[in-house]
Structure 1
Amino acid sequence: MPDPAAPGTLRPGGRTARIREAVLLAAGDALAADGFDALDLGEIARRAGVGKTTVYRRWGTPGGLAADLLADMAEQSLPRADTGALEEDLRANARLVVRTLDDPRQGRLFRALIAASLCNEQAAEALHRFYAVRVDEWAGCVRDAVARGEVPDGTDPHGVVAAVSAPLYYALLNTGRSLTEADADRAARAASTAARAGVWVTG
Protein backbone atom coordinates (compact mmCIF):
# COMPACT_ATOMS: atom_id res chain seq x y z
CA MET A 1 0.00 0.00 0.00
CA PRO A 2 0.98 3.58 -0.38
CA ASP A 3 2.18 6.06 2.00
CA PRO A 4 -0.26 8.27 3.67
CA ALA A 5 0.11 11.82 2.20
CA ALA A 6 3.10 13.89 3.22
CA PRO A 7 2.47 17.64 3.18
CA GLY A 8 3.56 19.28 -0.03
CA THR A 9 3.96 22.81 -1.26
CA LEU A 10 1.25 25.39 -1.83
CA ARG A 11 -0.03 25.31 -5.38
CA PRO A 12 -0.87 28.55 -7.17
CA GLY A 13 -4.42 29.25 -8.25
CA GLY A 14 -5.71 32.56 -6.92
CA ARG A 15 -8.49 33.17 -4.43
CA THR A 16 -10.30 29.87 -5.03
CA ALA A 17 -7.15 27.90 -4.28
CA ARG A 18 -6.47 29.98 -1.16
CA ILE A 19 -10.00 29.32 0.11
CA ARG A 20 -9.63 25.60 -0.52
CA GLU A 21 -6.28 25.53 1.25
CA ALA A 22 -7.65 27.37 4.30
CA VAL A 23 -10.74 25.18 4.53
CA LEU A 24 -8.83 21.91 4.11
CA LEU A 25 -6.27 22.99 6.70
CA ALA A 26 -9.06 23.77 9.16
CA ALA A 27 -10.78 20.47 8.35
CA GLY A 28 -7.57 18.52 8.84
CA ASP A 29 -6.95 20.22 12.19
CA ALA A 30 -10.50 19.44 13.32
CA LEU A 31 -10.25 15.82 12.24
CA ALA A 32 -6.89 15.33 13.93
CA ALA A 33 -8.09 16.92 17.15
CA ASP A 34 -11.65 15.68 17.49
CA GLY A 35 -12.46 13.16 14.77
CA PHE A 36 -15.08 13.09 12.02
CA ASP A 37 -17.83 14.38 14.30
CA ALA A 38 -15.93 17.68 14.48
CA LEU A 39 -16.52 18.36 10.79
CA ASP A 40 -19.32 20.86 11.23
CA LEU A 41 -19.18 22.92 8.03
CA GLY A 42 -20.20 26.15 9.74
CA GLU A 43 -17.46 25.75 12.35
CA ILE A 44 -14.89 24.86 9.67
CA ALA A 45 -15.85 28.03 7.78
CA ARG A 46 -15.34 30.08 10.94
CA ARG A 47 -11.93 28.52 11.60
CA ALA A 48 -10.87 29.04 8.00
CA GLY A 49 -12.07 32.64 7.94
CA VAL A 50 -14.32 32.15 4.91
CA GLY A 51 -18.03 32.51 4.30
CA LYS A 52 -20.27 29.70 5.51
CA THR A 53 -22.21 29.83 2.24
CA THR A 54 -19.01 29.24 0.28
CA VAL A 55 -18.21 26.13 2.30
CA TYR A 56 -21.71 24.68 2.02
CA ARG A 57 -21.89 25.43 -1.71
CA ARG A 58 -18.52 23.87 -2.53
CA TRP A 59 -18.39 20.87 -0.17
CA GLY A 60 -22.01 20.32 0.81
CA THR A 61 -21.49 17.75 3.57
CA PRO A 62 -18.81 16.65 6.05
CA GLY A 63 -18.29 13.59 3.86
CA GLY A 64 -17.68 15.79 0.85
CA LEU A 65 -15.17 17.82 2.81
CA ALA A 66 -13.34 14.70 4.01
CA ALA A 67 -13.29 13.42 0.43
CA ASP A 68 -11.68 16.62 -0.86
CA LEU A 69 -9.14 16.55 1.96
CA LEU A 70 -8.10 13.05 0.88
CA ALA A 71 -7.93 14.12 -2.76
CA ASP A 72 -5.66 17.00 -1.78
CA MET A 73 -3.43 14.70 0.26
CA ALA A 74 -3.10 12.32 -2.68
CA GLU A 75 -2.15 15.22 -4.96
CA GLN A 76 0.59 16.32 -2.58
CA SER A 77 2.02 12.91 -1.70
CA LEU A 78 5.67 12.26 -2.41
CA PRO A 79 6.64 10.32 -5.57
CA ARG A 80 7.88 6.76 -5.34
CA ALA A 81 11.48 5.79 -4.80
CA ASP A 82 13.69 4.53 -7.64
CA THR A 83 16.83 3.01 -6.10
CA GLY A 84 17.36 0.18 -8.59
CA ALA A 85 16.57 -2.53 -6.02
CA LEU A 86 13.09 -3.69 -5.01
CA GLU A 87 13.72 -4.10 -1.29
CA GLU A 88 15.30 -0.65 -1.05
CA ASP A 89 12.35 0.90 -2.90
CA LEU A 90 9.88 -0.88 -0.63
CA ARG A 91 11.87 0.14 2.43
CA ALA A 92 11.56 3.78 1.37
CA ASN A 93 7.81 3.30 1.01
CA ALA A 94 7.49 1.61 4.39
CA ARG A 95 9.58 4.23 6.19
CA LEU A 96 7.46 6.99 4.69
CA VAL A 97 4.34 5.24 5.95
CA VAL A 98 5.87 4.97 9.42
CA ARG A 99 6.96 8.61 9.50
CA THR A 100 3.51 9.75 8.50
CA LEU A 101 1.54 7.49 10.83
CA ASP A 102 3.86 8.29 13.73
CA ASP A 103 3.51 12.03 13.17
CA PRO A 104 1.34 13.51 15.95
CA ARG A 105 -1.01 15.30 13.55
CA GLN A 106 -0.95 13.02 10.51
CA GLY A 107 -1.36 9.84 12.53
CA ARG A 108 -4.46 11.17 14.27
CA LEU A 109 -5.76 12.53 10.99
CA PHE A 110 -5.56 9.14 9.29
CA ARG A 111 -7.19 7.39 12.20
CA ALA A 112 -10.06 9.86 11.93
CA LEU A 113 -10.36 9.40 8.16
CA ILE A 114 -10.35 5.61 8.48
CA ALA A 115 -13.04 5.85 11.16
CA ALA A 116 -15.04 8.20 8.94
CA SER A 117 -14.87 5.72 6.07
CA LEU A 118 -16.69 3.14 8.21
CA CYS A 119 -19.76 5.34 8.63
CA ASN A 120 -19.78 7.71 5.64
CA GLU A 121 -20.01 6.52 2.05
CA GLN A 122 -18.35 9.62 0.58
CA ALA A 123 -15.41 9.29 2.94
CA ALA A 124 -15.12 5.57 2.19
CA GLU A 125 -15.06 6.12 -1.57
CA ALA A 126 -12.49 8.90 -1.18
CA LEU A 127 -10.26 6.74 1.03
CA HIS A 128 -10.40 3.93 -1.54
CA ARG A 129 -9.46 6.37 -4.32
CA PHE A 130 -6.64 7.79 -2.22
CA TYR A 131 -5.09 4.38 -1.68
CA ALA A 132 -5.63 3.36 -5.30
CA VAL A 133 -3.66 6.43 -6.43
CA ARG A 134 -0.83 5.82 -3.99
CA VAL A 135 -0.60 2.06 -4.62
CA ASP A 136 -0.45 2.69 -8.36
CA GLU A 137 2.34 5.23 -7.86
CA TRP A 138 4.51 2.78 -5.91
CA ALA A 139 3.58 -0.19 -8.09
CA GLY A 140 6.14 1.16 -10.56
CA CYS A 141 8.84 -0.12 -8.22
CA VAL A 142 7.59 -3.66 -8.73
CA ARG A 143 7.18 -3.27 -12.48
CA ASP A 144 10.80 -2.13 -12.66
CA ALA A 145 11.85 -5.15 -10.58
CA VAL A 146 10.04 -7.45 -13.03
CA ALA A 147 11.82 -5.77 -15.94
CA ARG A 148 15.20 -6.29 -14.19
CA GLY A 149 14.41 -9.97 -13.61
CA GLU A 150 14.50 -9.43 -9.86
CA VAL A 151 11.04 -10.93 -9.39
CA PRO A 152 9.10 -13.34 -11.64
CA ASP A 153 7.01 -12.29 -14.62
CA GLY A 154 3.36 -12.01 -13.69
CA THR A 155 4.07 -10.55 -10.24
CA ASP A 156 1.14 -8.41 -9.14
CA PRO A 157 2.63 -4.94 -8.46
CA HIS A 158 -0.36 -3.70 -6.49
CA GLY A 159 -0.41 -6.79 -4.29
CA VAL A 160 3.25 -6.39 -3.38
CA VAL A 161 2.89 -2.71 -2.50
CA ALA A 162 -0.22 -3.36 -0.43
CA ALA A 163 1.65 -6.09 1.46
CA VAL A 164 4.24 -3.57 2.60
CA SER A 165 1.97 -1.25 4.53
CA ALA A 166 -0.67 -3.78 5.62
CA PRO A 167 1.22 -4.86 8.78
CA LEU A 168 1.99 -1.23 9.58
CA TYR A 169 -1.67 -0.24 9.47
CA TYR A 170 -2.52 -3.32 11.49
CA ALA A 171 -0.10 -2.19 14.19
CA LEU A 172 -1.50 1.34 14.08
CA LEU A 173 -5.14 0.30 14.42
CA ASN A 174 -4.95 -2.85 16.52
CA THR A 175 -2.03 -2.45 18.92
CA GLY A 176 -1.84 1.31 19.34
CA ARG A 177 1.93 1.19 19.73
CA SER A 178 4.35 3.57 18.07
CA LEU A 179 5.85 2.35 14.82
CA THR A 180 9.59 2.23 14.24
CA GLU A 181 11.98 2.04 11.31
CA ALA A 182 12.58 -1.58 12.30
CA ASP A 183 8.88 -2.25 11.67
CA ALA A 184 9.19 -0.56 8.28
CA ASP A 185 12.31 -2.52 7.31
CA ARG A 186 10.73 -5.81 8.38
CA ALA A 187 7.60 -5.14 6.33
CA ALA A 188 9.65 -4.26 3.24
CA ARG A 189 11.87 -7.31 3.62
CA ALA A 190 8.87 -9.64 4.03
CA ALA A 191 7.10 -8.23 0.96
CA SER A 192 10.20 -8.30 -1.25
CA THR A 193 11.12 -11.84 -0.12
CA ALA A 194 7.62 -13.05 -0.90
CA ALA A 195 7.71 -11.34 -4.29
CA ARG A 196 11.03 -12.97 -5.23
CA ALA A 197 9.60 -16.34 -4.19
CA GLY A 198 6.66 -15.91 -6.56
CA VAL A 199 4.00 -15.49 -3.90
CA TRP A 200 2.48 -12.56 -5.80
CA VAL A 201 2.49 -14.15 -9.26
CA THR A 202 -1.06 -14.15 -10.60
CA GLY A 203 -2.63 -16.24 -13.31
Structure 2
Amino acid sequence: MSPVPSPGRGEKVRTAVLAATLDELGAHGYAALTVDNVARRAGVHKTTVYRRWPDRDGLIADALSDSVDSEISIPDTGSIETDLRALARTLVVWIDSPSGRAILAAALSDAVGLPRPPDSIRHVFRDRIRRALPIVDKAMDRGELPRGTDPARMLKTLAAPIYMRALITHEPLDEAAADAAARLALTAARAGLFGGDPEPGVASGA
Protein backbone atom coordinates (compact mmCIF):
# COMPACT_ATOMS: atom_id res chain seq x y z
CA MET A 1 0.00 0.00 0.00
CA SER A 2 1.40 3.38 -1.03
CA PRO A 3 2.05 5.90 1.75
CA VAL A 4 -0.33 8.83 1.92
CA PRO A 5 1.49 12.16 1.36
CA SER A 6 1.56 14.45 4.37
CA PRO A 7 -0.81 17.41 4.10
CA GLY A 8 1.06 20.42 2.79
CA ARG A 9 4.10 18.34 1.81
CA GLY A 10 3.92 19.49 -1.81
CA GLU A 11 3.79 23.15 -0.85
CA LYS A 12 6.67 22.73 1.61
CA VAL A 13 8.79 21.15 -1.09
CA ARG A 14 7.90 23.91 -3.54
CA THR A 15 8.82 26.59 -1.00
CA ALA A 16 12.12 24.89 -0.19
CA VAL A 17 13.06 24.48 -3.85
CA LEU A 18 12.23 28.08 -4.77
CA ALA A 19 14.18 29.39 -1.77
CA ALA A 20 17.13 27.18 -2.73
CA THR A 21 16.97 28.51 -6.28
CA LEU A 22 17.26 32.09 -5.06
CA ASP A 23 20.11 31.11 -2.75
CA GLU A 24 21.95 29.47 -5.65
CA LEU A 25 21.40 32.52 -7.84
CA GLY A 26 22.81 34.76 -5.14
CA ALA A 27 25.78 32.51 -4.46
CA HIS A 28 26.75 31.44 -7.99
CA GLY A 29 24.80 33.55 -10.49
CA TYR A 30 22.50 32.65 -13.36
CA ALA A 31 25.05 30.95 -15.62
CA ALA A 32 26.36 28.56 -12.96
CA LEU A 33 23.02 27.55 -11.46
CA THR A 34 22.22 23.84 -11.80
CA VAL A 35 19.17 21.82 -10.83
CA ASP A 36 21.45 19.35 -9.03
CA ASN A 37 22.76 22.07 -6.74
CA VAL A 38 19.27 23.46 -6.15
CA ALA A 39 17.97 20.02 -5.21
CA ARG A 40 20.91 19.41 -2.90
CA ARG A 41 20.41 22.75 -1.16
CA ALA A 42 16.65 22.12 -0.83
CA GLY A 43 17.19 18.62 0.55
CA VAL A 44 15.23 16.85 -2.19
CA HIS A 45 16.08 14.53 -5.09
CA LYS A 46 16.58 16.24 -8.45
CA THR A 47 13.75 14.16 -9.95
CA THR A 48 11.42 15.91 -7.50
CA VAL A 49 12.49 19.22 -8.97
CA TYR A 50 12.18 18.07 -12.59
CA ARG A 51 8.73 16.66 -11.92
CA ARG A 52 7.42 20.15 -11.19
CA TRP A 53 9.86 22.22 -13.30
CA PRO A 54 10.90 20.40 -16.52
CA ASP A 55 13.62 22.93 -17.32
CA ARG A 56 16.03 25.11 -15.37
CA ASP A 57 14.84 28.45 -16.72
CA GLY A 58 11.23 27.68 -15.81
CA LEU A 59 12.38 26.99 -12.26
CA ILE A 60 14.33 30.24 -12.10
CA ALA A 61 11.45 32.28 -13.52
CA ASP A 62 9.04 30.73 -10.99
CA ALA A 63 11.41 31.48 -8.11
CA LEU A 64 11.84 35.10 -9.18
CA SER A 65 8.13 35.65 -9.70
CA ASP A 66 7.27 34.10 -6.34
CA SER A 67 9.81 36.31 -4.57
CA VAL A 68 8.61 39.51 -6.20
CA ASP A 69 4.95 38.66 -5.54
CA SER A 70 5.55 37.97 -1.85
CA GLU A 71 8.01 40.76 -1.09
CA ILE A 72 6.81 43.70 -3.20
CA SER A 73 3.21 44.36 -2.23
CA ILE A 74 0.93 46.70 -4.16
CA PRO A 75 -0.36 49.41 -1.79
CA ASP A 76 -3.88 50.81 -1.84
CA THR A 77 -3.95 53.59 0.75
CA GLY A 78 -6.49 55.83 -0.97
CA SER A 79 -3.86 58.45 -1.81
CA ILE A 80 -1.46 58.45 -4.75
CA GLU A 81 1.20 60.18 -2.65
CA THR A 82 1.23 57.54 0.07
CA ASP A 83 0.78 54.72 -2.46
CA LEU A 84 3.88 55.79 -4.39
CA ARG A 85 5.90 56.29 -1.23
CA ALA A 86 4.92 52.85 0.09
CA LEU A 87 5.70 51.20 -3.25
CA ALA A 88 9.10 52.89 -3.49
CA ARG A 89 10.02 51.96 0.09
CA THR A 90 9.03 48.35 -0.48
CA LEU A 91 11.14 48.27 -3.64
CA VAL A 92 14.15 49.63 -1.76
CA VAL A 93 13.83 46.99 0.96
CA TRP A 94 13.43 44.22 -1.62
CA ILE A 95 16.46 45.29 -3.68
CA ASP A 96 18.63 45.08 -0.56
CA SER A 97 17.33 41.61 0.34
CA PRO A 98 19.06 38.35 -0.67
CA SER A 99 16.32 37.51 -3.16
CA GLY A 100 16.38 41.01 -4.63
CA ARG A 101 20.12 40.90 -5.17
CA ALA A 102 19.83 37.44 -6.72
CA ILE A 103 17.12 38.54 -9.12
CA LEU A 104 18.98 41.65 -10.25
CA ALA A 105 22.10 39.57 -10.82
CA ALA A 106 20.14 37.11 -12.96
CA ALA A 107 18.39 39.81 -14.97
CA LEU A 108 21.62 41.64 -15.72
CA SER A 109 23.93 38.71 -16.29
CA ASP A 110 24.24 39.37 -20.02
CA ALA A 111 25.57 42.85 -19.26
CA VAL A 112 28.77 41.28 -17.92
CA GLY A 113 29.22 38.78 -20.72
CA LEU A 114 27.37 35.84 -19.16
CA PRO A 115 24.58 33.89 -20.89
CA ARG A 116 21.49 36.01 -21.23
CA PRO A 117 18.46 34.91 -19.18
CA PRO A 118 15.35 34.06 -21.20
CA ASP A 119 12.65 36.66 -21.65
CA SER A 120 10.45 34.78 -19.16
CA ILE A 121 12.80 35.94 -16.40
CA ARG A 122 12.74 39.55 -17.54
CA HIS A 123 8.96 39.26 -17.70
CA VAL A 124 8.98 39.19 -13.88
CA PHE A 125 9.82 42.89 -13.83
CA ARG A 126 7.29 43.79 -16.52
CA ASP A 127 4.61 41.83 -14.70
CA ARG A 128 5.26 43.70 -11.46
CA ILE A 129 4.75 47.03 -13.27
CA ARG A 130 1.56 45.67 -14.82
CA ARG A 131 0.18 44.67 -11.43
CA ALA A 132 0.90 48.13 -10.02
CA LEU A 133 -0.89 50.01 -12.82
CA PRO A 134 -4.18 50.27 -10.83
CA ILE A 135 -2.41 52.62 -8.40
CA VAL A 136 -2.26 55.23 -11.15
CA ASP A 137 -5.68 54.41 -12.60
CA LYS A 138 -7.34 54.86 -9.18
CA ALA A 139 -5.51 58.13 -8.67
CA MET A 140 -6.91 59.44 -11.95
CA ASP A 141 -10.40 58.35 -10.90
CA ARG A 142 -9.97 60.28 -7.63
CA GLY A 143 -8.80 63.37 -9.52
CA GLU A 144 -5.30 63.25 -8.05
CA LEU A 145 -3.60 62.90 -11.44
CA PRO A 146 -4.35 64.33 -14.90
CA ARG A 147 -6.56 62.19 -17.09
CA GLY A 148 -4.50 60.43 -19.76
CA THR A 149 -1.49 59.85 -17.52
CA ASP A 150 0.43 56.80 -18.74
CA PRO A 151 0.62 54.49 -15.70
CA ALA A 152 3.56 52.41 -16.95
CA ARG A 153 5.70 55.45 -17.72
CA MET A 154 4.96 56.91 -14.32
CA LEU A 155 5.89 53.72 -12.46
CA LYS A 156 9.07 53.28 -14.49
CA THR A 157 10.03 56.83 -13.55
CA LEU A 158 9.53 55.95 -9.89
CA ALA A 159 11.71 52.84 -10.15
CA ALA A 160 14.46 54.31 -12.34
CA PRO A 161 16.37 56.34 -9.72
CA ILE A 162 16.17 53.45 -7.26
CA TYR A 163 17.69 51.01 -9.75
CA MET A 164 20.24 53.68 -10.70
CA ARG A 165 21.47 53.82 -7.11
CA ALA A 166 21.45 50.05 -6.76
CA LEU A 167 23.22 49.17 -10.01
CA ILE A 168 25.22 52.18 -11.21
CA THR A 169 26.13 54.75 -8.56
CA HIS A 170 25.93 52.43 -5.52
CA GLU A 171 24.61 55.28 -3.40
CA PRO A 172 22.76 54.44 -0.17
CA LEU A 173 19.30 52.98 -0.62
CA ASP A 174 17.06 54.06 2.21
CA GLU A 175 13.66 55.60 2.90
CA ALA A 176 14.94 59.04 1.91
CA ALA A 177 15.93 57.73 -1.52
CA ALA A 178 12.57 55.97 -1.88
CA ASP A 179 10.63 59.09 -0.90
CA ALA A 180 12.62 61.22 -3.36
CA ALA A 181 11.82 58.79 -6.19
CA ALA A 182 8.13 58.89 -5.30
CA ARG A 183 8.10 62.71 -5.27
CA LEU A 184 9.86 62.83 -8.63
CA ALA A 185 7.30 60.55 -10.28
CA LEU A 186 4.37 62.38 -8.72
CA THR A 187 5.64 65.84 -9.67
CA ALA A 188 6.28 64.75 -13.26
CA ALA A 189 2.84 63.18 -13.56
CA ARG A 190 1.08 66.25 -12.21
CA ALA A 191 3.03 68.35 -14.70
CA GLY A 192 1.59 66.27 -17.54
CA LEU A 193 4.90 64.67 -18.53
CA PHE A 194 3.34 61.22 -18.89
CA GLY A 195 0.68 62.15 -21.41
CA GLY A 196 -1.95 63.88 -19.28
CA ASP A 197 -2.79 67.58 -19.24
CA PRO A 198 -0.85 69.31 -16.44
CA GLU A 199 -2.72 70.42 -13.34
CA PRO A 200 -3.29 74.19 -13.21
CA GLY A 201 -0.24 75.88 -11.78
CA VAL A 202 2.01 72.81 -11.76
CA ALA A 203 3.77 73.24 -15.07
CA SER A 204 4.25 76.96 -14.59
CA GLY A 205 5.39 76.60 -10.99
CA ALA A 206 2.56 78.86 -9.78
- Shorter-chain TM-score category? 0.7 to 0.9
The TM-score, its normalising length taken from structure 2, stands at: 0.81
Q: How many pairs are equivalent?
A: 188
Q: Is the 8 A contact 1:86 1:142 kept in 2?
A: yes
Classify 1:56/1:117 alpha carbon distance in 2 versus 1 (closer, same or farther; 3 Å). Answer: farther
Q: Write the deviation string for residues 105-159 of structure 1: whole angstroms up to 9, x where unpaired.
A: 134212322234763443x32322x223321232212111111212111111121
1:9-158 to 2 correspondences below 5 Å: 14-103=8-97, 105-116=98-109, 119-122=115-118, 124-128=119-123, 130-158=124-152
The 1:121/1:43 distance shift into structure 2, 3 A limit, reads closer
Aligned to 1:177: 171
SS in 2 for 1:84: coil
- Distance change (3 Å), C-alpha of 1:109 and 1:184: same
State how far apart, in whole Å, the 1-side matches of 2:174 and 2:69 are.
26
Q: CA deviation at 1:184?
A: 0.8
Q: Alpha-carbon deviation of 1:78?
A: 4.5
Letter of the 2:102 partner, please give it: L
- One-letter amino acid matched to 1:64: G
Contact 2:81/2:186 (<8 A) preserved: yes
Shift of 1:177: 3.0
Gaps of 5+ in 2: 1-6, 198-206
Q: 1:40 to 1:168 in 2, by over 3 A?
A: same
Residue type at the aligned position of 1:126: I
Identity %: 43
**Which residue of 2 is the match for residue 4 of structure 1?**
none
**Aligned letter for 1:18?**
K
Report if the CA contact (8 A) 2:107-2:121 is conserved.
no
Q: Deviations over 1:30-56 (max 9, x none)?
A: 111221234111121111111122223
Q: Which has the larger radius of gyration?
A: 2
Offset at residue 85 of structure 1 (A):
2.3
> Contact 1:33–1:108 (CA<8 Å) still a contact in 2?
no
Unpaired runs of 5+ residues, structure 1, are 1-12
Query: Quick one: distance in 2 between partners of 1:75 and 1:16?
Result: 20
Give 1 or 2: higher helix fraction: 1
Distance 2:69 2:82 in 1: 24
User: Whole-Å Cα distance in 2 between the matches of residues 84 and 73 of structure 1?
Assistant: 26
